[in-house]
Amino acid sequence: MTAIEFNNISKQYRLGLVSTKTLSHDLNRWFQMNVRGKEDPYLKIGSVNDRSAAADSDYVWALRNIDFKVEQGDVVGIIGKNGAGKSTLLKILSRVTAPTTGTIRAKGRIASLLEVGTGFHPEMTGRENIYMNGAIMGMTKAEIASKIDEIIDFSGCERYIDTPVKRYSSGMTVRLGFAIAAHLDPEILVVDEVLAVGDAEFQKKAIGKMQEVSKGDGRTVLFVSHNMLSMRQLCTTGILLDKGGVCFSGNISDTIATYIVDQIVQSSFDAGEGDKDVLFLEYAKVYPTKGTVIYNSSEIIIEFGVTIGKDIPSLVIGFNINSSYGHPLARADYNDNSKKATLNPGSYIFKFKIPPLRFSNGDYKIVFDVAIRNIRNYATSKSSLSFNVTTDEKGFGNFFCEDMIIKSSIMRENWFDKYEIVK
C-alpha cells in the first residue's frame, strides 16, 4: 500500500530582498492567470538550485519535478549535499510550506521533527507543549495523558519538564521534540538532520525507536541525515537529491554508494612545484582494489610516480596519513640512509597497499614526503590527496589485534604491506 505519493512537486523561491518588484510580480501573475486565463508566467523562468554558482535569475527552483512513491512501512533515507532540497521536501510534506506546483497524497497522520524548536511555544513548559503538539495532531487529552510518562522518560528531560522550553538547550529541545513525534502514534514520521544536535547516546536511542516504529508497527519513516552510518543502519530505501531533483533512487546501499562516488575528492594534488633535475613528484592517486568507493573493508592502494634526476644520498620517498583534523595516523616510506642512493636516476611508480579494516568511516588526507633527508622536501603542501572512507555491511571500524597493541611502537608500520616499485 502506498503511504506517500509525490506528484510533480516543484518549489520556487525568489532570491534577494523583498522590494517593490514583488508586488508588481504578484499583480502580473494574478492578471495573467485570472484575467487572461494563461499559466503562471514565472513558472517558465528560474535557475536550478546550484548554491555554488552565481544567480542568473531572480527566481530559483529549490525543487523541480519530484516524482516518487513511498510504500507503507518503508524507512526512506533522503540523501544529498547541502542545498539539494531535502529539508524543503520535508517541509512541503509536513505542510510547513506549500509546493509551487504538484500534489502530495499522504495516508495517515504525519509527525515531523524539522528545525530545532519547530512546533514549540517558547513560553509554555515542556509538559504543556506535549499536550499542544498532541492536540494539533488530532489526539484527545486522554490519549496524550496515557503516553505522557513514556514521552517524558524517553526524552530524559524529566527534571525540566515543567520549565518553559525557551530555557532548554538545543539538545534538550530535540530530545523532547523527537519523543513527542515518535510516541504520538503517527502513521508517517518525518525526521530532519536535527538528530545531529543530540549526543551519541540519544542518537542511538532515537534510531532504535525509529526502527521499532517502522518494523514493529509498520509505520513509514522519512529520514534526512548526512551520517551515512545511521542511514545504513536504519533505512531500507534511499532517494538521492541533487540541485532540487531526484538523481537516483533504490536500496539504501546503492543510494549511498552513488552519493559517495559523486563526493569523492582525490584531485587536490598539484605536481607543478618541484625540480625534475633533482626530485619531482609526478602524480598521485588513492583507490580501492575493487570498485570506486573506499569502504572500511576495502584494500586501499596509494600510488604515486616520482622522477629522480640524480644520485641522492639520504633519499626519502613516502607519505603520512592524517585525520580530517590534521592529526598524524600512519606513515610509510622508502628511504635510503646509506651514503650512496639505492635508486638510480629515472622514473619510478610506488604502490603502497593498506589492508582492510584499518580506517573508521570519515575523511583522511595523504601528505607526501619526497625529500633529501634534512635538506629539502620537494613535495609541497599542495601535493596532497583527500579521501573518504565509508561503512559497509562487512566493516564497522578499525581492526585491532593483540600484536598491534603490544607492539605499539611499530603499529604504524603494520598498517602497510610491502610496497612495490615499478620503474
Structural domain range at position 351? 279-422
Domain contains 43: no
Same domain flag for 290 and 235 = no
Instruction: Report the domain count for the chain.
Output: 2
CA 372/CA 340 separation, integer angstroms:
12
Residues 295 and 337 in one domain: yes
Q: Is residue 224 part of a domain?
A: yes
Q: Are residues 250 and 321 in the same domain?
A: no
What residues pair up with 68 in beta bridges, in sequence order?
Answer: 6
pLDDT tens figures, 87-117:
899 999 988 888 988 999 998 888 888 876 6
| 197 shares its domain with 107 | yes
Q: What is the pLDDT of residues 171-195, one digit of tens each?
A: 898 889 888 888 888 889 898 876 7
| CATH number, domain with residue 115 | 3.40.50.300
Which of 173, 174, 180, 220 is closest to 196 using CA atoms? Answer: 174
Domain identity same for 253 and 284? no
- Domain boundary (230, 262, 294) is at 262
Q: pLDDT for 289-335, tens place per residue?
A: 988 888 888 889 888 888 888 888 888 888 889 887 788 888 887 76
- Domain check: are 225 and 153 in the same one? yes
Dist CA 412 CA 318 (whole Å): 13
Q: Which residues, 6 or more positions from 405, have their beta carbon under 8 angstroms from its beta carbon?
A: 411
Query: Percent of the chain at pLDDT above 90?
Result: 19
Specify if 387 maps to a domain. yes
Is residue 269, in this structure, part of any structural domain at all?
no
321 and 394 inside one domain: yes
Assigned domain for 50 exists: no
Give the three cell numbers for residue 110. Answer: 504525519
Q: What is the pLDDT of residue 142?
A: 92
Are residues 258 and 283 both part of a single domain? no
Q: What is the pTM of this model?
A: 0.65
Residue after which a domain boundary falls, among 197, 229, 262: 262
Same domain, 238 and 358: no
